[in-house]
Structure formats: C-alpha cells, structure tokens
C-alpha cells in the first residue's frame, strides 16, 4: 500500500498552515477582551527616529505626528541623521528651531552605515536617552495622536514584555497595484495573527517601523547593529532570553510602502534574510530556545519557499490533485473569518470597510506570487553568507 502519494506530500505544507491558522484562531477566540492597564507609574519615553536622505515633506509629516502625540509627559525625541547627503538634515533643523511641546534632539552620524541598527546604536552610545521606554519610529511613518500612549501602555502592562509593536498599514497604497497588494496584506491577516500571538506572549515578527522596547532590556541584552533586519532578530534574542513580545492593536500608524515591483522585491528579500538571522540569533542565546523555535522557523520557511498558490493551482487542477486545494480553501475561509472578527473589534478605528476584507485572499495570493522569488533569494543570501546591505535605500 502506497502511503506517501504525491497528493499527500503536496498536502503536507498547506495542512501545516491550516492547522496553525486554526490554532491561532482558537487562541484569539479564547483571549480575554481587556484593555491593558498601566502597572505602576506612567513610564518616560524616548523616541528614536533615524533618517537617511528622507524626502523632506515626509520627514516633516512624521515629526508633526510626533508633536501632536497625547502623552501625559513630555516626550524625548531623538532624531538621528544617518549620514544623509540631501537637505533632510537642514529641513529637520529648521523644524526644530520652532517652539515645541516635546523635547527634541538631533544627532548626526558622519557616514551612513548601511543598516538602521547602526543608527539606533549610535543614539544608544550617545548616553543621551533618558526614557524608560525606547520607541523606534521610521522617518516615513505617521503615528495617530494616541499611538505612543497606547504602545507604552501595552508595554508597561506586563513586566515580562521586552518589546511591543503597533498596527501599521500603508498610506500610499492608492498610487500603484503594488501598494494595493501590500495594503490588503496589512489590513488582513497581520493584525489578527499578531493579536493571537500576543495572547501567547510570542509575537515573532515585530513591525520595526513603530515598536517600543523596554529600556532596561535593551541595556541588558544589547542593541540592534549586529543584524541587517534588526526588528525581527532583536525580538528573537529577547524571546530566547526569557522575555515576551507583544502587539498593541490600538497603537495605530500609517507608513510609506514600496510602490514598484523592484522596491518590493528588494524589501522582501531583506525580510526573508532577517528570518534566518533571527533563528541563528536565538540559537546563540540559548540552544534550548533554539530547539523550541525550530518549528516556527520551519513553518515560516515552508510558507516562504513552497511555490505560491497561484503558481500551483493550474498544475494541481491539471493533474486532478484536489486535496491540497481543498485544504487551501479551508485555510482561506478561516483567514477570512479570523480577519472579520478582528476588524469587527478594531476596524472602525483603523478605517477598513467590511467589504475590503473579502478582497484580502485575492490580493494576498497575488502578492504571494510576486514575493516568492525574493523570499527564496533572501534565505539563500543569509545561508551563503552574502554581504549584508540594506537594499531599499
């Protein structure tokens, strides 16, 4: 009797995805609907905003959003000019020359290091950061007025939280098909899945454009400069060290996403490489945690490297292999239900209509097709030890 038929072997990856989705959906349904309170005094906050050759109007918009933050204390905002060669530093200096309600400082690196982590560690080494919470914000990211408060509140709700990220969606998604694909990706599964992972205390991929770190943990385990994709690897290092990572659905921001296929290709290649960085980082901290994290890494690699649905669909139909298609259909149904439950709770504030959710599976499938090759190349880059460059700037 032949047990391992081609149909069964092709069904294994999609079955793993299906079971994982089912487990996360159950976790989400069983979690308590409580808002995270502050534990103890309200923490002081230092915002780190690195920029490199940022478009001046975008940088000013990001700064204006920070200035409009509703937080009970004055925020320390540290701008880090990462060796810019355009006039962005001059524009920032002019903006800072006006009276502001928060405390702003500008640090200047003489030369761009090629990684965001170098700029963050430059600020760390300056010894000027005074906050109990370090919040990293990308220079093309715009925070809603209560975003800093919600992020700090979530981080401070549990002493074990090392880092917490907010909800981010692309702002410039209407200008191109590539932007629309990323918009539906972000409004779809990202928030719902992270909400379930937060209940477990393990959000393995933090949105680095808007993320809060507990300052004491940064001082204990170190900064960010050793990695190309610092947000994922730092999170895994913290998890391996016994801390938790979380997600604050009420901390909302928009950001600029790649608008061309070329830009998207480079971004996803870098992100894929970051997953391998994170996995090896966890092993370096704790072999036991490395073993425990292996199933998630294997699952993530399987999702990234297995040929995408739109590529496999005609082949499976041609050869009458229906089981993986049926499992994929069930998974998409659960994803849709999962997303609708999340949006029913948060959608009004995020500004997403229910009808948009029904388009998520289609747009995500197209994006999956476009990002398959850069995912494969990203894994190969890290395994083969290629030189680490930022790629998108």
Condensed to tens digits (0 to 9), the pLDDT of residues 10-28 reads 888 889 889 999 999 999 8
Per-residue pLDDT tens for 314-339?
989 988 999 999 999 999 899 888 88
The H-or-E segment that residue 112 falls in is none
Higher per-residue pLDDT: 190 or 103: 103
In this predicted model, what pLDDT tens digit does every residue of 178-210 receive, in sequence order? 999 999 988 877 888 999 999 999 999 999 999
Distance CA 243, CA 197 (A): 14
The mean per-residue pLDDT over the stretch 360-378 comes to: 93
pTM of this structure: 0.92
Q: Report the distance separating Cα 379 and Cα 188, nearest Å.
A: 25
Q: What class has domain 45-259? A: alpha beta
Residues with Cβ < 8 Å from 12, sequence gap 6 or more? none
Q: What percent of the chain has pLDDT over 70?
A: 95
Q: Determine the pLDDT at residue 34.
A: 55
CA distance 382 to 272: 9
Q: Compute the distance between CA of residue 151 and CA of residue 214 in angstroms, rounded to an integer.
A: 11
CB 155 within 8 A of CB 133: yes
Residue 341 has pLDDT above 80, yes or no: yes
Residues 259-268, mean pLDDT to the nearest whole number:
95
Kindly state the average pLDDT of the residues 166-177.
Answer: 92
Of 264, 199, 189, 203, residue with least CA distance to 231:
203
If you average pLDDT over residues 99-126, what whole number do you get? 94
Euclidean distance between CA atoms 66 and 60, whole angstroms: 10
Beta-bridge mates of residue 105: 78
pLDDT, residue 374, reads 96
Most confident stretch, 132-141, 303-312, 316-325: 132-141
C-alpha 280/C-alpha 260 separation (Å) is 31
What number is the average pLDDT over the span 113-134?
A: 95
Residue 302: band (very low, low, confident or very high) from pLDDT cuts 50, 70, 90: confident
Per-residue confidence (pLDDT) for residue 1, from 0 to 100: 46
Structure tokens given for 18? 């299906």
Distance CA 175, CA 107 (A): 33
Neighbours of 358 (CB within 10 A): 12
Q: Are 279 and 197 in contact (CB under 8 A)?
A: no
The two tokens of residue 243 are: 């801390």
41 or 89, greater pLDDT: 89
Nearest-angstrom CA–CA distance, 155 and 170: 24
Write down the domain spans for the chain. 6-31+290-384, 45-259
Find the angle CA(216)-CA(219)-CA(222) to the nearest 5 degrees.
Answer: 135
- What pLDDT shows up at residue 85? 93
Between 18-22, 35-39, 169-173, 299-303, the lowest mean confidence (pLDDT) is in 35-39
**pLDDT level of residue 158 (50, 70, 90 thresholds):** very high
What does DSSP say about strands 210-214 and 133-137: parallel, antiparallel, or unpaired? antiparallel
Query: In angstroms, rounded to a whole number, what is the distance separating the alpha carbons of residues 206 and 191?
Result: 11
CA–CA distance, 296 with 293 (Å, rounded to integer): 6
Q: What is the pLDDT of residue 37?
A: 65
More reliable by pLDDT, 386 or 46:
46
Are the C-beta atoms of 202 and 238 separated by less than 8 Å? no
Confidence tier at 369 by pLDDT (50, 70, 90):
very high
Backbone angles phi, psi at 73, to 5 degrees: -120, 165
- Rg of the chain over all Cα atoms, to the nearest angstrom: 21
């Amino acid at each position: 009797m032949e047990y391992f038929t081609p149909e069964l072997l092709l069904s294994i990856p999609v079955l793993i995805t299906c079971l994982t989705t089912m487990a996360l959906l159950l976790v989400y349904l069983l979690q308590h609907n409580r808002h995270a309170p502050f534990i103890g005094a309200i923490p002081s906050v230092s915002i780190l905003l690195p920029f490199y050759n940022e478009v001046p109007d975008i940088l000013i918009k990001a700064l204006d959003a920070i200035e409009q933050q509703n937080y009970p204390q004055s925020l320390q905002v540290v701008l880090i000019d990462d060796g810019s060669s355009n006039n962005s530093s001059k524009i920032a200096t002019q903006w800072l020359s006006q009276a502001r309600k928060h405390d702003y400082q500008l640090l200047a690196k003489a030369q761009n290091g090629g990684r965001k982590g170098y700029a963050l560690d430059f600020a760390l080494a300056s010894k000027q950061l005074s906050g109990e919470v370090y919040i990293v914000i990308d220079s093309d990211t715009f925070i809603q007025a209560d975003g800093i408060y919600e992020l700090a509140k979530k981080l401070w709700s549990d002493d074990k939280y090392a880092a917490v990220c907010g909800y981010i969606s692309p702002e410039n998604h209407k200008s191109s098909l590539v932007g629309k694909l990323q918009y539906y990706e972000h409004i779809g599964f990202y928030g719902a899945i992270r909400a379930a992972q937060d209940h477990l205390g393990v959000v393995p991929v933090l949105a680095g454009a808007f993320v809060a770190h507990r300052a004491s943990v940064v001082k204990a385990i170190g900064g960010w400069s050793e990695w190309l994709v610092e947000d994922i690897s730092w999170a895994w290092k913290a998890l391996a060290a016994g801390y938790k990572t979380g997600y604050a659905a009420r901390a909302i921001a928009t950001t600029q996403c790649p608008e061309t296929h070329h830009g998207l290709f480079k971004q996803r290649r870098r992100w894929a490489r970051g997953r391998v960085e994170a996995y090896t980082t966890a092993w370096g901290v704790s072999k036991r945690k490395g073993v425990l994290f292996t199933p998630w890494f294997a699952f993530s690699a399987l999702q990234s490297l297995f040929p995408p649905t739109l590529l496999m669909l005609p082949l499976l139909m041609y050869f009458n292999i229906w089981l993986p298609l049926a499992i994929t259909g069930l998974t998409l149904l659960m994803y849709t239900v999962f997303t609708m439950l999340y949006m029913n709770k948060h959608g009004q504030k995020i500004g997403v209509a229910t009808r948009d959710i029904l388009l998520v599976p289609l747009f995500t499938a197209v994006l999956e097709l476009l990002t398959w090759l850069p995912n494969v190349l990203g894994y190969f880059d890290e395994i083969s030890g290629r030189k680490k460059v930022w790629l998108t700037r």
